[in-house]
Chain A
Amino acid sequence: MLYIEDLIVIVRWLALIVAIIDLVLVAYILLRRIARDRYYARKDAAHERFSVVVRQFGSGVSEMSHTVIALSKACTPAETAAVQELLIGSMTVENRERISDLLFQLGYVQTWAIQAFGRSRGKELMALITSGQPYAPAPKSWKQNFRKISRLRAFAVKRALPVAYFGHLAPRFAERLLAEALQDPSPYVTRPAVAALGKTLSPVAVPILLEQLRRASKGQSDIPVRAAKAALVRHSSGNLSEFLPFLESREERLRLLVVDTIREMLTSKPLLVADVPVELYDWFINHAVHDTSADVRARSAAVISRFHDRKSIDTLRALLCDEDEYVRLHSVRACADPFYSVMVEDLVGCMIDRRWRVREAAAKSLAAVGSAGARSLADFFLTTNDRYASEQIADELQRSGLIFQLVSMLGTSDLEADQAAAVCRKMAGMGMISLFSYLLQRDMPTPARNELTKILEACSAAQPESAGQQAPPPDDPTKNRTAPFLGTAVAPATTAAGD
């Protein structure tokens, strides 16, 4: 029984409450702005004050005790934040240990540890660090029951913030702290912990990370595989020998991920064969080819191609003839390196592969291998009757810009002018004349122009113009295209012209 006059009163109260909340929000914004401005002003002031001290310490000029006294003067949150930023910003590989020690002495490491792990555990870890004892996980306590709750984002985010700092610290400090962080139930903490492990460059980190990788590969972890891989890749390559036991694991996925990680490491940092431990080298050269998993074989190709020696050539040759298309694809891609110009014939052999992806990759690799490759590519182009291979090569010639070199050679007295002309003729015959028509409308040296005009006239007599190419139909395993002369005559007149 809601009397309507009460309703008016209720509405009035509601409107009042809404108005009050609005005003509270306005006040909140104002106060927040003011507080932030003040915070940043203080922080900047602190930056100014302490930057000289930090620089001197970083470059080794001043002493530890002196600096500790100077920097302890920073007490407000803004000042301590500024000091922390300055110290971390001035870290280099050489002074990392000193600065980490300074951070420890100033008590910042303890603050971070308490923030991340709670008061008692944080202090325990500090004690472990000072005494030098190895890391031991906390004994099971009644607190374990609250794991589900601590997982909640609301609580986890606060714990996660200091974890990023741990990555900057020297291994002596970072190992124990990060190992503890990895035990945290929330992914918000474990993910940055893994990333931080990648930054520490500590030898202890590698097996931990590999273990994380294993767990991620099985789907047992909150950490995505990519994150674990990224952390490993970032890590120094000097600890590659730790990878061996994982390479020999029985789990395919784990092997694949480890191989992929090694591949990434070799790609991102220039690595010499000398840096790769012997056992690893042996494994790749001898065992990778026979691995049961196609994925592993495929990714190994990229690793092997880095070795740049006689044995790698042989291995790659073997991989190029692998029965799995994926392996062939990656092996072909791995050969896109000028060192492997000796493998041009093998690459040409891949041009008539059943799968279009392999053909495409072969064309790209040939284009990238150098002038020998480009020539073989052009030769193959001229001799093949396989329509799809021709299209693939024509595509690659245009994408890589080789076509412009060829056109510039037209009509000259170069050795390769004839070949260039033949290539252009064939392309025009396939209907790919857009570029040529376009070039003719621009400035061209006269001999090239004449040559090109001749080619176009010859072709336009044969068929109408068209632009664009039709895609090859999806790969049909029943049709055997490995034999190039099985009568799949190129008939561009009827196929390319239709819209």
Chain B
Amino acid sequence: MHDILLRVLDYTNTVFLFYFVAANIVYTILMILSLYTVSLHAIWARHKPYKDLADSPVTPPVALIVPAHNEENAIVQTVLSLLDLNYPEKEILVVDDGSTDSTVERLIEKFQLRPLDLIYRESLKTGRPKAIYHNPEWPQLFVLSVKHGGKPHALNSGINMARSPYFCTVDADCIIESDALLRLMAPVTQSTEETVVSGGIVRIANGCTIKEGRITKLDLPKTWIELCQTVEYIRTFLFGRPGWSALNATFITSGAFCLLHKESVIKAGGFSRDTVTEDIDMIASLRHYMAAHKRKYRIQFTTDPICWTEAPRTVKMLARQRRRWQLGLTQTILKNQNMMFNPKYGLTGLLSMPFHAYLEALGCVVEALGTVLIPVSYVVGGMPLSMFLVFMFLAIGYGTLLSMGSVVLEEITLRRYPKLKHVMILMAYAVLENIGYRQMVTIFRAQGVLQYFAGRKHWETVHHKGLEVAGAHGN
């Protein structure tokens, strides 16, 4: 009996070893690629090429679509900050996804909106909205009120209403910097190839002071869970994404702030309700469409455009968020399975997608099991001490290098925390994050993957506290 147990543990140990070594190798390669791209980009961007874009009249118009469900606390601030964006031609479409609170009422009150009967072209099948609100004195702003159908449905409704060639999805609780839209558009206008998606960075605003929809003071959050998330976001967005973008194999962009080409999205079928993370699914659908029609295109990610968002403050909310993300990732991967190992989709199919499927989705299950089984194996005697140390090193020690490197990248690029004390705290948490937080998040992610096989398809609700609002609303 003991013998069979040892054999089984031998096998699982081999799997864990393979996973850790493979994952760390890939992360290292991504890190090197990202260091190269991001630091050069930082030097390049130092002489502010975005001023030209603001003055240029050839910058195309953009529609900002804000799907909102029960966001009464944040929505007015968000719309005000969007109206203030430094961009020549934009329109703002707030899509109220069947909110049960006073989201729409607050907007109507603030901007004196009136219900109108405007033409609504159903390029994507959504059904007609319940109401459209507008005030000619704010010619850029439109508010649609649709029947509750989830975020993809709201986004599709916004797309139908939009009249610009590009649209940008914005989450209702996000704060966008005034230059961010210009920076998001820069890769589109500056590239010779058609760019259908342009993504930016998402950062955590917990702890910052926010007035009138703008960040006035940059500060670090106070609790450990938010600090760990801060480091984690920095690592993901400064290491993972630029690396894949350099290989032109982007698989995930953040839907919180992402620019897309409207016609391509419509032709690709719009946002679908099959998954809970429609932003990842959109990228996959676009790739399908472009490959099927053999069009050359680029999906771009740059580190300049920055969107600030609120991170969950409690473990319970964090768990829900991470479960949803992994559930969505699993759904997307399984739905788009014909991209896997398919050379027609270039490096995405050959590298990026297998990586996300096996080293992220399956990998987090493996890692969660490892967190439990490796100590068991050591105690039972199936693993000598040195192997145990090797695993500890791979799981914890190497991660500190990656996190620390990402803090350095953060320091090099344009945005940085002004006080040295902040950077020190970040570096400390870069190390601490690997002990405890990472394992906890891995377990949540594993739950998310397993939820897929248990049949779950939809969101668990995540409650927002709302970011600190200094200055009363309704002013």
Contacts and interface: CB of A to CB of B under 8 A. Distances in A.
Direct contact of A and B (CB under 8 A): yes
Interface of A: 4-5, 7-8, 11, 14-15, 18, 21-22, 25-26, 28-30, 32-33, 153-154, 157-158, 160-161, 164, 188, 191-192, 195, 219, 221-224, 226-227, 229-230, 233-234, 264, 267-268, 391-392, 394-395, 398-401, 404, 427, 431-435, 438-439, 467-471, 499
Contacts of B52: 195, 230
B132 interface: yes
A224 B190 contact: yes
A36 to B, nearest CB: 10
7 contacts: A14-B393, A29-B427, A158-B43, A221-B192, A222-B192, A467-B131, A469-B117
A195 B189 CA distance: 13
Contacts of A391: 119
B65 to A, nearest CB: 18
Contacts of B398: 18
Between A30, A398, A432, the greatest number of chain B beta carbons within 10 A of the residue's beta carbon is seen for A398
A22 B57 contact: no
Contacts of B401: 18, 21-22
Given A32-B411, A227-B190, A400-B136, 15 more contacts: A8-B389, A21-B401, A25-B427, A33-B411, A153-B40, A157-B43, A195-B52, A224-B190, A229-B58, A230-B58, A394-B117, A399-B134, A399-B136, A432-B117, A471-B120
B310 to A, nearest CB: 27
A290 B384 CA distance: 87
A442 B318 CA distance: 45
A425 to B, nearest CB: 15
Interface in B106-123: 114-122
A233 B427 contact: no
Interface in B18-64: 36-37, 40, 43-44, 46-47, 49, 52, 55-58
B420 interface: yes
Contact of A4 (B43, B387, B397, B423): B387
Contacts of B44: 157, 160, 188
B163 to A, nearest CB: 10
A7 B405 CA distance: 26
Contacts of B8: none
Nearest to A439: B114
Contact of B120 (A7, A427, A435, A469): A469
Nearest to B426: A29
Interface in B417-435: 420, 423, 427, 431
B397 A15 contact: yes
Contact of A467 (B49, B130, B385, B397): B130
B291 interface: no
Contacts, number: 153
Contacts of B379: none
A356 to B, nearest CB: 9
A15 B49 CA distance: 42
B334 interface: no
Contacts of A427: 117
Interface of B: 36-37, 40, 43-44, 46-47, 49, 52, 55-58, 114-122, 127-132, 134, 136-137, 139, 189-192, 384-387, 389-390, 393, 397-398, 400-401, 404-405, 407-408, 411, 420, 423, 427, 431
B387 A7 contact: yes
Contact of B116 (A160, A431, A435, A470): A435
Contacts of A11: 386, 389-390, 393
Contact of B400 (A5, A18, A32, A195): A18
Nearest to B55: A234
A469 B408 contact: no
Contact of A33 (B57, B130, B136, B420): B420
A395 B120 CA distance: 10
Nearest to A22: B404
Give the 9 A-B CB pairs with smallest separation, nearest first: A401-B136, A432-B117, A434-B115, A471-B121, A8-B386, A398-B116, A230-B56, A468-B128, A395-B119
Nearest to A438: B115
Contacts of A15: 393, 397
Contacts of B119: 391-392, 395, 469, 471
Contacts of A434: 115-117, 131
Given A395-B119, A467-B130, A468-B131, A4 B384 contact: yes
A191 B55 CA distance: 17
Contacts of B43: 157-158, 161
Contacts of B49: 164, 192, 195
Nearest to B37: A153
A188 B132 CA distance: 45
B322 to A, nearest CB: 26
B407 A468 contact: no
A392 to B, nearest CB: 7
Contacts of B122: 471
A21 B397 CA distance: 12
